[in-house]
Chain A
Amino acid sequence: MSKLNLVNHSEEYDTEYDDDEGADIESQASYSTKIFNRLTGSYESVMGPFNKVLRQNDPDRINVKKVQAGNMHLLSAKYESLDYDVCENTLLIDEERTKGFRFIQRKDLYRWVIMIFIGVITALIACAIDITIEEISSIKYSTLKTEVDECILQGCLIVPFFLWIAWNVVPVLIGSFLVAYIEPVAAGSGIPQVKCYLNGVKVPRIVRIKTLIVKVLGVTTSVIGGLAVGKEGPMIHSGAVVAAGISQGKTTSLRKDFNTFKYFREDHEKRDFVSGGAAAGVAAAFGAPVGGVLFSLEEGASFWNQSLTWRIFFGSMISTFTLNVILSAYHGRPGELTYAGLLNFGKFDNTSYDFIEIPVFLLMGMIGGLLGALFNHINLKLTIFRMRHIYRKWAKVLEAIIVAACTATVGFSMILFINDCKPLGEDPTRYPIQMYCGDGQYSAIGAIWFQTPEASVRSLFHDPPGSHRLTSILIFFCLYFCLSIWTYGLSVSSGLFIPALLTGAAWGRVVGMGMEHFFSEASWVDPGKYALIGAAAQLGGIVRMTLSLTVILIEATGNLTLGLPLMITLMVAKWVGDYFNEGIYDTHIQLMGVPLLPWEPPPLSHNIYATEVMSCPVVTFHMKETVGTIIDVLTSESYNGFPVVDPPNPSDYEDGQVNFGTFRGLILRSQLIVLLQHKLFIETSESWDHKGVALKYFRDAYPRYPTIQQVHISDEERHFTVDLQPIMNPAPYTALNNASMPRIFRLFRGLGLRHLVIVNDNNKVVGIVTRKDLARYRLEKHMGKMRLEELTILDR
């Protein structure tokens, strides 16, 4: 190997990164920086726009740049790409020769079978979550109700207050403990993570069964704990995990291999199933099969084909249907299929709308956009604060507990101080509390608080006009808005949909009351309808989804008539919100530093060429390489793709040209590791049949390959050689060194590449482009201004 090749060229780090390995990676980075320092001498200019650049005093590491955590303009090196591109090596071609079309038919059939399983299991999980929450919440609120009713007479209100705090704190403690200590990736709604995965980024641990368990328990406990959260977002993540798990027929976490579906063990197939799982999750959460498919299409998959659409729709339908069957049986009406979706908005009776209302809907869209932008802004600041100052695990748990306790306090204070009494009627208030109201009345505020947020949304949609007082609902809106900002980003599994819908429904109802005041004669005035539009506007303003959200809401309300108003509102909300900042999910993705590729290459970037984007020098291997060299390179470098070359001609250097030899193919780190692990050396080839180097080894190791440190090679074996030719991808995608950035970007985005080798006119390797080289260029939009930003890449 050439001496040049030892220099770091890429930023693809190993997947299995967690806190324990942090130190290793840091030393590695400083090591490579030192090499860089020795070779080039100068890099005074290489610093970003950060105010707080920290330089170490240690003279040995004087030039290591440090950047404070919690910044939007960073990319994290711990995120890698998925290998969406199928490696067409000799092994694959050999295997294909033995298979024939019967195999293809079977594989196609199994795709459908797997979709059925994905739908059914996702729905079962949804039912389990729903029924558990329902049962335990009903115990919680009936206990609290009895306690409040008794203590109002005896003057011991501190008891139910304390009990409420305890009922909130204990479940949240369990949930946030699980999330903080066992599986941090299960925090939040999981939609940003699923979005990244479907975009082609390998988010560590996102589709593991451990994540699923923590997610399910976490969301159940946080909803029972009365936080301002919903269970819909986590359902989408759960669906994705289920899909990834079932399609692989094995779980590495539980060390169980069912020896089925082995031919689906590659990133390409897995990602297709995951997009189906996410859709099934949406379908189960909202009873919206079409919305689920569109969600996958809009938020997720970068790579889409028609047959996949149909299959995903099938999975979503199965999921909705299964959920329906089980929940209607649970609610005592088996076979009636009336419970579509976890989130049941109920039926809207009066949904006619008048021409005069369209401007009102536009206005509500604007309000939703503004409030959504405000939500995102405050939440962004809060999240940055959390990243910088609340990073210890126990502190995260403590914060979640404090929020839970404060939620109870806010609820209790509102019930105590706002005397909004309504007569007990036929409206379905399950736990009416009297507080200081007269007999036969209940506290309207108590009714909103003494149920899960989801049920509160339903009552705001359907309570008859005059169910709430204007002031009480305004105060509720303000407090709940703040609570939901505070809650999102805690170390608990939590969805954002319900709190957004609830705040939106609250201010929408206020608008509805205003309309009632001004158009008291009109038949179309119905506060519930405005609550729905307000909820849509608020949610649209926060998450900035368009088509899928409209369809989800239409399906969840079972009402096509309101399609146009919903669409108008969501569109305006998105436009207004986008003027100020990005959607909450994109904001969190940026804070995580995920190299997400947007739909389009950055504009006006045709003058950026491959030579400027690519990494150079490149670490390369020869067709026949000694084991020792491979181990050394894999140990000292952190990249995942290595071009395989013929040795470069020494005369090339004299021309001032840089190249690393004639390009022959591309080999992945994982392939090399499997090769070494199974000791497939040329010298020992008598002991293993050449034909035995089947794809089986690679599929068995997928998706968690051992690290190079886990592969044991004796000193004697270091002198052996391996033949890379049958394993490498002999014809990966390449681009010429004068290709423009948009061209490379489209190749990456369209084909889901992980590495793109840059060659010169003579097919000699000059560089390699990875996802982060492209994602570094990000278009920023703010207040009508646009600019192209270059991001800094961090080691974690």
Chain B
Amino acid sequence: MRPQKYSVSSCFIFLVIIDFHKFLPTAEASIEQEIHLDSFDITTPSPICQDAASLFGSAVSDFSSCSVRNARPINLCQGCVLEFLTVLKTYEDISDTYSADNISCILYFTNLDQLEVLKLNLEFVKYLWNRGHCDNCFARDGNGTITGAILSDISRYNQCYQLTSGCLSRHSQSNTTCTECRMGYNELNVLYSHLEEKYGQKLCFDVVDTMNRTRENWSYNFNCYPIRKSEFWVYFLMICMGIIPISFYLLALLLSNVQEATVVQLRRMGDTIDRSNGAHHIVSPLNQQSGEPSVELIE
């Protein structure tokens, strides 16, 4: 009974480690790691694990090259979604693959050194993806993980964008671009502002970039600026607002009465002596000039 019980509990601990050690390398986990190091040769992964890892490596490299390909104009999310999903899949596969010793392959690659090459690669991919808020372009499945399917409102926007950019390129040589394509452009703007409202700052970057480019084109290449209408009344009001304060202060200056207050006479000892003695004038020097700067201290 005893050994069995032991093996069950150790197995349980082992599972716990597989689940959590990538998130929290606790002291407990590192002790277990040492046990593994004693029992297995963890430094050289078994061939089957090597294969799984290299699949992950090529997926990362596919994603990297795809992202660079789609850097300008930005089409990272929609252009590289398959590559991204592959990266996630292959990384999971490493965990799910077991070597001959029935050890998950991931243990050969994580929490052994400072460099953490595999993890760093995965993090890089995820970082790039999240920076573009790419998750918000795609539908999610029941588990909440993203799928390769583009969300319906995004695809509607994309269609509208295709129409507008087609229109713009058709009329690129004529002077009537602004009037010809205004309908589509306005519709695109409306769709975009809806999306913006929905996602805020987290709008999928493909969309943001296409919109920015279209707007830039619209304003700079086709010079579709709002026309400055007559601003006569604005200037008129401004001039009024300039005159009002000046006249207010002039009127205040002219129409005000002089504001004055009575000086309170101070009672000083000199006066009292003066009064009680009648003859003497023992008035203090300061009192004589009270209210005046009396002492010049430092020049």
- A and B held together in a complex: yes
Residues of A within 8 A of B (CB): 4, 7-11, 26, 29-30, 32-33, 36, 39-40, 43, 45-49, 52, 54, 64-70, 74, 76-77, 152-158, 161-162, 165, 385, 387-391, 395, 398-399, 402-403, 405-406, 409, 412-413, 416, 423-424, 426, 434, 436-441, 603-604, 608, 611-612, 614-617, 653, 656, 658, 766-767, 773, 779-780, 785-796
- In the complex, the answer to whether B226 meets A788 with C-beta atoms within 8 Å is no
Question: Could you say which residues of chain B place their CB within 8 Å of the CB of A64?
Answer: 262-263
- In the complex, the answer to whether B260 meets A789 with C-beta atoms within 8 Å is no
Q: How far is the CA of A796 from the CA of B261 in the complex (A)?
A: 6
- In the complex, the answer to whether A617 meets B267 with C-beta atoms within 8 Å is yes
CB nearest neighbor in B for A409: B241
- Mask for B223-246, Cβ within 8 A of A = 1, else 0? 011111111011001100110110
Q: How far is the CA of A158 from the CA of B232 in the complex (A)?
A: 9
Question: Could you say which residues of chain B place their CB within 8 Å of the CB of A611?
Answer: 269, 284
The answer to whether B35 has its CB under 8 Å from any CB of chain A is: no
- In the complex, the answer to whether B260 meets A439 with C-beta atoms within 8 Å is no
Least distance between A158 CB and chain B CB atoms (Å): 4
Q: How far is the CA of A39 from the CA of B287 in the complex (A)?
A: 17
Question: Could you say which residues of chain B place their CB within 8 Å of the CB of A76?
Answer: 261
Q: A40-B275, A616-B268, A788-B293 are in contact. Are A440 and B231 (CB under 8 A)?
A: no
CB nearest neighbor in A for B226: A152
The answer to whether B47 has its CB under 8 Å from any CB of chain A is: no
- In the complex, the answer to whether B294 meets A33 with C-beta atoms within 8 Å is no
CB nearest neighbor in A for B284: A612
- In the complex, the answer to whether A153 meets B261 with C-beta atoms within 8 Å is no
Q: How far is the CA of A347 from the CA of B227 in the complex (A)?
A: 41
The listed residue (A33, A54, A156, A779) touching B260 by CB distance below 8 A is A54
The answer to whether B14 has its CB under 8 Å from any CB of chain A is: no
Q: How far is the CA of A67 from the CA of B252 in the complex (A)?
A: 20
Q: A388-B256, A604-B295, A790-B294 are in contact. Are A26 and B215 (CB under 8 A)?
A: no
Question: Could you say which residues of chain A place their CB within 8 Å of the CB of B261?
Answer: 66-67, 69, 74, 76, 794-796
- In the complex, the answer to whether B265 meets A46 with C-beta atoms within 8 Å is yes
- In the complex, the answer to whether A423 meets B212 with C-beta atoms within 8 Å is yes
- In the complex, the answer to whether B215 meets A40 with C-beta atoms within 8 Å is no
**Interface residues on chain B, number (Cβ under 8 Å):** 65
The listed residue (A391, A406, A412, A793) touching B264 by CB distance below 8 A is A793
- In the complex, the answer to whether B237 meets A66 with C-beta atoms within 8 Å is no
Question: Could you say which residues of chain A place their CB within 8 Å of the CB of B120?
Answer: none
Q: A158-B234, A161-B234 are in contact. Are A9 and B267 (CB under 8 A)?
A: yes
CB nearest neighbor in B for A382: B249
- In the complex, the answer to whether A787 meets B272 with C-beta atoms within 8 Å is no
- Mask for B262-299, Cβ within 8 A of A = 1, else 0? 11111111011111110010001011111111111111
What are 23 inter-chain pairs, A to B, with CB distance below 8 A? A11-B264, A11-B266, A26-B262, A40-B274, A46-B263, A48-B263, A48-B292, A64-B263, A68-B258, A69-B259, A155-B227, A155-B230, A158-B237, A389-B249, A402-B248, A403-B245, A409-B238, A436-B225, A656-B277, A658-B276, A788-B295, A794-B262, A795-B263
The listed residue (A65, A658, A766, A788) touching B297 by CB distance below 8 A is A788
- In the complex, the answer to whether B265 meets A49 with C-beta atoms within 8 Å is no
A-B pairs, 5 with minimum CB distance:
A155-B229, A438-B219, A440-B215, A48-B291, A439-B215
The answer to whether B8 has its CB under 8 Å from any CB of chain A is: no
Least distance between A287 CB and chain B CB atoms (Å): 25
Known contacts A157-B229, A399-B252, A614-B268; 4 further A-B pairs (Cβ under 8 A) = A11-B264, A36-B267, A405-B241, A412-B234
Q: How far is the CA of A398 from the CA of B244 in the complex (A)?
A: 11
The answer to whether B253 has its CB under 8 Å from any CB of chain A is: yes
Least distance between A752 CB and chain B CB atoms (Å): 23
Least distance between A647 CB and chain B CB atoms (Å): 17
CB nearest neighbor in A for B230: A155
- In the complex, the answer to whether A604 meets B216 with C-beta atoms within 8 Å is no
- In the complex, the answer to whether A766 meets B269 with C-beta atoms within 8 Å is yes
Least distance between A550 CB and chain B CB atoms (Å): 30
Least distance between A761 CB and chain B CB atoms (Å): 16
Question: Could you say which residues of chain B place their CB within 8 Å of the CB of A766?
Answer: 269
CB nearest neighbor in B for A64: B262
CB nearest neighbor in A for B252: A389
- In the complex, the answer to whether B288 meets A45 with C-beta atoms within 8 Å is yes
The answer to whether B173 has its CB under 8 Å from any CB of chain A is: no
Question: Could you say which residues of chain B place their CB within 8 Å of the CB of A4?
Answer: 272, 276
Least distance between A567 CB and chain B CB atoms (Å): 29
Q: A158-B237, A399-B248, A787-B293 are in contact. Are A438 and B225 (CB under 8 A)?
A: yes
Q: How far is the CA of A395 from the CA of B251 in the complex (A)?
A: 10
- In the complex, the answer to whether B237 meets A162 with C-beta atoms within 8 Å is yes
Q: How far is the CA of A165 from the CA of B240 in the complex (A)?
A: 12
- In the complex, the answer to whether B231 meets A46 with C-beta atoms within 8 Å is no
Question: Could you say which residues of chain A place their CB within 8 Å of the CB of B297?
Answer: 603-604, 779, 786-788
- In the complex, the answer to whether A786 meets B298 with C-beta atoms within 8 Å is yes
Q: How far is the CA of A44 from the CA of B212 in the complex (A)?
A: 81
Q: How far is the CA of A511 from the CA of B266 in the complex (A)?
A: 54
Question: Could you say which residues of chain A place their CB within 8 Å of the CB of B228?
Answer: 436
Q: How far is the CA of A336 from the CA of B298 in the complex (A)?
A: 58
- In the complex, the answer to whether B231 meets A157 with C-beta atoms within 8 Å is yes
- In the complex, the answer to whether A787 meets B296 with C-beta atoms within 8 Å is yes
Q: How far is the CA of A227 from the CA of B5 in the complex (A)?
A: 77
CB nearest neighbor in A for B267: A9
- In the complex, the answer to whether B259 meets A7 with C-beta atoms within 8 Å is no
The listed residue (B201, B272, B287) touching A426 by CB distance below 8 A is B201
- In the complex, the answer to whether B268 meets A612 with C-beta atoms within 8 Å is yes
- In the complex, the answer to whether B238 meets A157 with C-beta atoms within 8 Å is no
Question: Could you say which residues of chain A place their CB within 8 Å of the CB of B98?
Answer: none
The listed residue (A49, A406, A424) touching B293 by CB distance below 8 A is A49
Least distance between A393 CB and chain B CB atoms (Å): 13
Question: Could you say which residues of chain A place their CB within 8 Å of the CB of B216?
Answer: 438-440
The listed residue (A66, A426, A440) touching B263 by CB distance below 8 A is A66
Q: A611-B269, A785-B299 are in contact. Are A794 and B259 (CB under 8 A)?
A: no
Q: How far is the CA of A40 from the CA of B265 in the complex (A)?
A: 12
- In the complex, the answer to whether A614 meets B262 with C-beta atoms within 8 Å is no
The listed residue (A409, A416, A790) touching B291 by CB distance below 8 A is A790
